[in-house]
Structure 1
Amino acid sequence: MAVMLLGCSLASAQSTDQLPGFDLERLDANTGRGTALVGNGELMVPGGMSVSLLGHYQRLPLVLNDGEQDLAVVRDRATALLSASYGVLPWLELGAQVPFVLWQQGDDPNTVGLSSLTAQGMGTPVLQARLGLLSRRQRQPVDLSADLGVGLPVGTGLALAGDDGPRFHARMVVGTILGSVQPSLEAGVLFRPTILLGTTEETAVRQGATSEVRLGAALATTGTGLRGELALRATLVPQSAQVSMDLLGGVRFPLLVGLDAFVMGGPGLGGALGTPRFRMLLGVSFRSEPPPRISFIDEHVDREFQLSLATPKPPERDDRIRPAGTWELMSVTRDDPQGTSDVRTPREPPRPYQPGPQDRLVMRGEIHFTQGNSELQGVVPLLDQAVLRLSELPRGGTLIIEGHADTEGTDSSNMIMSLRRAQAVRRYLLDQGVPATQVRIRGFGSDWPVSARPATEQERQLNRRAEVLLITEAPAPLTTQAPAP
């Protein structure tokens, strides 16, 4: 589609007088994490990828007035935007956007000395780098990022989709999670070539600004099902004191694992070029992020754990020849007169830890994960409380982390996922200063579910968990001894 639109644009440019071209679009979509229009300051994890396809309808985005009447140069406009982002490093994310004008119509601009517009064309491609400054993954209060981008001057000017030169933008984005909602804010500046609109009079020229201040705010609900989004975008043109605003609200809902659909709409206010009376957005987005890698703090201590992951051990078999007493040889006739004691029964999977008489359970809790995820989101109060309780134990203690998975995957993938969840909790505790010798982890796969036959997503999430147990040595019972006579 990109090749076809670009070809049509070049052909139109050869057959029509060049219009003083500029990019009419004022609304920037968001690549990566966050809402459709405003990011939340959080970066994609290394190796993570996000791709979205957005359809955009605008009503009356360009209306000119010659002092007597309004001329709707662009009355209806439909565009598409293909965007993608990729996590390169924990602090770096790269993104790109390619817009297309699919269709537009309006009044004949020849009456004011402007050449006719083309109905299709390619927009201004944007390359962007997002730098992470603060992250809740590092137990900081907010996510903060800086976005730097450049717009390439290859858009179709005859379709009002490209500037005469490159454009640059820089902005700061901050976001956090407050209960069940996720607010975010952004502020930045856009530098673009001067916009000149010529008219039939040689002296009548409308000049646009070379810089714009852009502000944004968004509020989104969290969760895995239907979610709501509300976004406000404002643009201030300092040279002409023009202000334009867009207020858009909508919903986002999942289609498949990692695939979401969203729809938004709302009015536009202000007189700046490119501010429509109404906008409508409809699109889909796909996001795929790998689980965090298992990191080993002490390679000597964890060498056996690494080998066990790479080469799983076969089930143990007691086939060795060993000496046996007479009572063992006669046990079949005494205890099993039918002689069926040699029939092997399937081994029971390892059981979760159960404190014995010599142990004292100080605290116990669970951390739940989403489908296919083994990442801890920000601060975990349960683990912070466990670290505090551990430091207060006079006899010391041991933190036992047991990872579990649901039954959606295979046995091997579920076992790896349960180990990754336990390892993510272990990394959190080590970062808090807990010695590695006081943390033990185990993975049980899907062998020990909380809900054996889950029917809802909430029940399945109960099985995607990591159980945390703080164990200490039980105090010895007090005894009294009478003095010897």
Structure 2
Amino acid sequence: MGRRSLWLGALVLFLALPGMTAIAQSRLPAFELERLELNPGAEGSLVVGMGELLQAGQFRLSAVSHYSHRPLLLFVDGTTHAVVGGRTTMHLAGAYALTNWLELGVQLPVVASQWGGDLSSENILMPDSFGLSTPLAGIRLGLLTQDSSGGLDLAVGGDVGFPVGNPNIFGSDGALRYLPRVMVGRRFGFLRAALDVGMLLRSRVDAISPLGGGGLDQLDNEVRIGAALVTTGRRLRWEINARGSIPLAKNQPAAAELMPGVRYLVNPSLEVFGLAGVGLGTAPGTPLFRFLAGGSFGDVTPRRGPGESSVRCDLGLSLSPEECPDRDDDGDSVRNILDKCPLVPGAPERAGCPRADTDKDGIEDTLDACPAEPGDAARQGCPVRDQDNDGVEDDADACQTQPGPAENRGCPLKDKDKDGIENDQDECPEEPGPVERKGCPEEDTDKDGVPNRVDTCAQSPGVEANLGCPEHEVPLVAITHKQLELRGKVYFEASQPRMQSRSFAVLDWVAKVMREHPEIPRVVVGAHTDDRGFADQNRQLSQQRAEGVRRYLIEKGVAADRLEAKGYGPDRPVDSNATSIGRENNRRVDFKIIRSGDENTDALQR
């Protein structure tokens, strides 16, 4: 019985041992280990944002191979264990500028291989050797751009990390992570400096060894700071980057890295580069050292900064002298920026220009103010100028584009036709005319010696004493500058808008005058009442009367757009309403003429 029990216990122990071993061994908590983030646009630095974005429509694609040494160490009872002794990662990155102030970027890190020490003695499972790490998507908004007058480059943006990486390679926080940031940069000659400050927001990880005797520290939010100093304007460029983090959790250590690098522009669409760095601090993801190498394709040629040559000048491309001010395109030992003839060899004492006299006037082109036109030395090689061909040289001509006599300093006479109206206001400067005709001569259609402006019968010869009408006619309308004066009256039925037939004769004359005088642009038919009765009713009645007169004139052939009806009621008396005669005078219809530019426009304004 005792032997049987012994064998049974041994069998149970044998079957339970694998399960006990599996329970004893476990993985460290999952978190994103990698601290290196690329700058997808990489206009300035490869790893630090400098506030400068790609231009609208430009793109950049990058592939980077990256090795970091001992990025994750575990301290247990005074002993250091390399959880991750080495890690090789492939980074794919891309950036595209929708506008000059909006740039989008993505990053895809893939761990190609990862290895570390054997931690089975500490009952810790080894991490996986390869897999996807945390992909990033970002946006940059440009706020300021440095130009030739100064200023700086300023941009804000942020990156989002997605929890799709392999947690068993320390490739995911298990939740979204965010990195809002502010980037600022400025050029100082051939150098450019930048500062990149952001806040990493991530899920808290209490990464403590299962043994409880020490282990990884806590991981939580932190402030990330990057600074860079890069060279500009050359095909071969250098940069030095400093990156660090300030933890916001009490038990989380700080970290810093110094990463110098070099970049070389192979052609306008291809750039290769390399970076190396050393890390300081014990924060997870801080390697003892790291190095990376890669290349970028797309719009990788840096833009020309204020006061510098284009990088394209070093590529042997055909460029303008303005784009390459430090080059000597004509080989005359005078740099383009100082060479007044950058494409023609010349002498330094002539500012890079050859001796030339294009217009053959005996004055060298560099000293000739008019090198294409012969002239004399007294005028610095320029000919005598007389733009208006009035015989007065431009130097002495007060009106260089208007011909005029020498006695008037080359200016035209102000009143050529001597009608008292200056030429710039005289619509007929060659013919004398009165002011009311704007300097144009009087019109007399019927040739009776009475000008149309006062001729009531403009198409029938008459005499001035009869308002220009034939002697056998009795005109009922006189024309003045401001109105058509009636020599009669328009009568209405009492308190009614209907006209009496005895008014038709005078209105027929008004229609005749307006038909024969198309130069009268517009007439306001104004109807007025006395002050008896209610004012509003009087205004309404007078408006109806004015519209009735207007309709009558239209029926008699006057264009509707030349007539406007206004009912003023008792508002504009011309006599006292205290007497019957005064009230009769106030009950009237008048015809005010409205001319372009006429000061008397109150009839239209009220």
Is the shorter-chain TM-score for this pair beyond 0.5, marking a shared fold?
yes
Match of 2:273 in 1: 262
CA separation of 1:478 and 1:184: change in aligned 2, threshold 3 A: same
Q: 1:166 to 1:54 in 2, by over 3 A?
A: same
In the TM superposition, what is the alpha-carbon distance from 1:216 to its structure 2 partner? 0.8
d(CA) in 2 for partners of 1:210, 1:88: 34
Matches within 5 A, 1:381-396: none
Which has the larger Rg?
A: 2
Write the letter of the residue equivalent to 1:86: Y
Name which of structure 1's ranges 166-175 and 235-244 shifts more when overlaid on structure 2.
235-244
Deviation at 1:407, TM superposition (A): 9.4
- Confirm whether residue 28 of structure 1 aligns to residue 32 of structure 2: no
Aligned-residue offset at 1:121: 0.7
Structure 1 residues 61, 145: CA separation in 2 closer, same or farther (over 3 Å shift)?
same
- 1:371 equivalent to 2:300? Answer no
**Which one of 232, 235, 252 corresponds to residue 242 of structure 2?**
232
Q: Which runs of 5+ in 2 are unaligned?
A: 1-24, 344-368, 371-378, 386-392, 397-406, 408-606
Match in the other structure for 2:184: 174
Task: From the superposition, tell whether residues 111 and 222 of structure 1 become closer, same or farther in structure 2 (CA, over 3 Å).
Answer: same
Distance 1:63 1:139, change over 3 A: same
Q: Which amino acid aligns with 1:228?
A: W
| Cα distance in 2, alignment partners of residues 275 and 248 from structure 1 | 12
What is the rounded CA distance, in whole Å, between the counterparts of 1:220 and 1:291 in structure 2? 12
Counterpart Cα distance in 2 of 1:72 and 1:94? 37
Structure 2 counterpart of 1:21, which letter?
A
Q: 1:250 aligns to what?
A: 261
- Equivalent residue for 1:105, pick from 83, 105, 115: 115
Q: Deviations over 1:25-81 (max 9, x none)?
A: 112111112211112211111101011111111111111011231110111111111
Call closer, same or farther: CA 1:453–1:215 in 2, change over 3 Å.
same
SS in 2 for 1:371: helix
Contact 2:220 2:248 in 1 (8 A): no
Assess if the C-alpha contact under 8 Å between 2:302 and 2:311 holds in 1. Answer: no
1:321-340 equivalences under 5 Å are none
Q: Secondary structure at the match of 1:96?
A: strand
2:535 maps to what in 1? none
Aligned to 2:92: 82
Residue-by-residue CA offset, 1:206-255 (whole Å, 9 max, x unaligned): 55232011111111111232111100001111213621110011211122
Q: CA deviation at 1:130?
A: 0.4
The CA distance in 1 between the partners of 2:27 and 2:83, in whole Å, is: 16
* 1:303-452 alignment, distance < 5 Å: 369=310, 371=312, 451=329
- Higher strand residue share: 1
Displacement of 1:110 after TM fit?
A: 3.5
Q: What TM-score do the two structures reach when normalised by structure 1?
A: 0.58
CA distance in 1, matches of 2:117, 2:328: 65
Q: Deviations over 1:105-157 (max 9, x none)?
A: 11123433432211101010000000111112595510001121110000111
> Matched residue of 2:121: which SS?
helix
Letter in 2 for 1:279: R
Match of 1:160 among 170, 173, 185: 170
Aligned residue among 202, 210, 215 for 1:192:
202
Relative contact order, higher structure (CA 8 A, sep 6+): 1
Q: Does 1:149 align with 2:159?
A: yes
Q: Deviation string for 1:440-485 (max 9, x for gaps)?
A: xxxxxxxxx984699xxx99xx77xxxxxxx999797979xxx9xx
Q: Does 1:281 align with 2:222?
A: no
* TM-score (structure 2 length as normaliser): 0.47
Match status 1:114 vs 2:127: no
What letter corresponds to residue 75 of structure 2 in structure 1? N
Cα RMSD, aligned residues only: 4.0
Rounded Cα–Cα distance in structure 1 between residues aligned with 2:173 and 2:107: 16
Partner of 2:433: none
Secondary structure of 1:136's partner? coil
Contact 1:61 1:273 in 2 (8 A): yes
Aligned length: 317
| Structure 2 Cα separation of the partners of residues 277 and 167 of structure 1 | 25
CA distance in 1, matches of 2:300, 2:268: 12
**Does the C-alpha gap of structure 1 residues 368 and 291 become closer, same or farther in structure 2, counting only changes over 3 Å?**
closer
For 1:280 and 1:109, how far apart are their aligned partners in 2?
26
Deviations 1:185-226 (A, max 9, x none): 111110111223353347977552320111111111112321
| 2:77–2:213 Cα contact (<8 Å) kept | no
Measure the CA separation in 1 of the matches of 2:104 and 2:301: 17
Q: Partner of 1:391 in structure 2?
A: none
Distance, in Å, in 2 between the alignment partners of 1:124 and 1:113 is: 27
- Percent of residue pairs bearing the same amino acid type: 32
Greater CA drift, 134-143 or 36-45: 134-143
Q: Secondary structure at the match of 2:90?
A: strand
- Structure 1 stretches of 4+ with a deviation exceeding 4 A read 16-19, 137-140, 202-207, 289-292, 366-370, 406-409, 471-479
Where does residue 354 of structure 1 map in the other structure? none
Using the TM superposition, name which of 28-37 and 148-157 deviates more: 28-37
Letter in 1 for 2:277: G
Look up the SS of the partner of 2:207 in the other structure: strand
Aligned to 1:223: 233
Q: Partners of 1:213 and 1:88 in 2: how far apart?
A: 29
